[in-house]
């Protein structure tokens, strides 16, 4: 699929000094998080990793960028912090699959995981 044809979200999963760190979050299977996101969202949505997003105290951090059409209508990236269990990961996945920023309502529970971008 060419980029100009893509109309899905971009999910950026921070993986650097703190996010994805086994020493900081030994109970989290960080690789499995990525596999689950990709399995559930690709190819309609892209999932990529990034270097530190400067919000380490909120690790694991994940950012959902709106689909291009939603962005043109004013939707903005949504940041999530403390993405450390399957429950919040599943909520994020379902929301992105439903359209993500500017296209789908976020549950009250998922709102609690939103963070302010640094
Ligand atoms: S390593 Fe993810 S915010 Fe710093």
Ligand 1 centroid vs 5 CA: distance in angstroms?
A: 31
Using CA atoms, how far apart are residues 92 and 86, in angstroms rounded to an integer? 10
Using CA atoms, how far apart are residues 56 and 70, in angstroms rounded to an integer? 28
Using CA atoms, how far apart are residues 60 and 70, in angstroms rounded to an integer? 25
Number of folded domains that form the chain: 1
Q: Range with the lowest mean pLDDT among 2-11, 31-40, 45-54, 69-78?
A: 2-11
What is the span of the domain harbouring residue 61? Answer: 3-115
Per-residue pLDDT at 6: 74
Look up the pTM and report it: 0.94
Average pLDDT, integer, range 17-32:
96
Which ligand 1 atom sits nearest the alpha carbon of residue 60?
Answer: 2
Using CA atoms, how far apart are residues 25 and 22, in angstroms rounded to an integer? 5
Ligand 1 centroid vs 50 CA: distance in angstroms?
A: 9
Which ligand 1 atom sits nearest the alpha carbon of residue 59?
Answer: 2
Q: Kindly list the protein residues whose Cβ atom lies closer than 6 A to any atom of ligand 1.
A: 14, 16-19, 52-56, 59, 61
* CATH code for the domain in which residue 26 is found: 3.40.30.10
Per-residue pLDDT at 2: 55
Per-residue pLDDT at 1: 53
Average pLDDT, integer, range 94-99:
98
Using CA atoms, how far apart are residues 1 and 24, in angstroms rounded to an integer? 37
Ligand 1 centroid vs 20 CA: distance in angstroms?
A: 8
Identify whether the C-beta of residue 22 lies closer than 8 Å to the C-beta of residue 76: no
Average pLDDT, integer, range 84-95:
97
Confidence of residue 4 (pLDDT cuts 50, 70, 90): low
């Amino acid at each position: 699929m060419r980029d100009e044809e893509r109309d899905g979200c971009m999910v950026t999963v921070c993986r650097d000094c703190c996010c994805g760190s086994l020493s900081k979050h030994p109970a989290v299977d960080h690789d499995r998080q990525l596999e689950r996101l990709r399995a559930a969202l690709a190819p309609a949505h892209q999932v990529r990793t990034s270097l530190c997003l400067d919000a380490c105290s909120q690790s694991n951090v994940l950012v959902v960028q709106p689909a291009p059409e939603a962005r043109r209508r004013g939707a903005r990236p949504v940041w999530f912090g403390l993405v450390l269990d399957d429950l919040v990961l599943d909520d994020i996945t379902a929301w992105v699959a439903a359209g993500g920023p500017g296209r789908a309502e976020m549950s009250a529970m998922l709102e609690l995981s939103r963070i302010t971008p640094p």
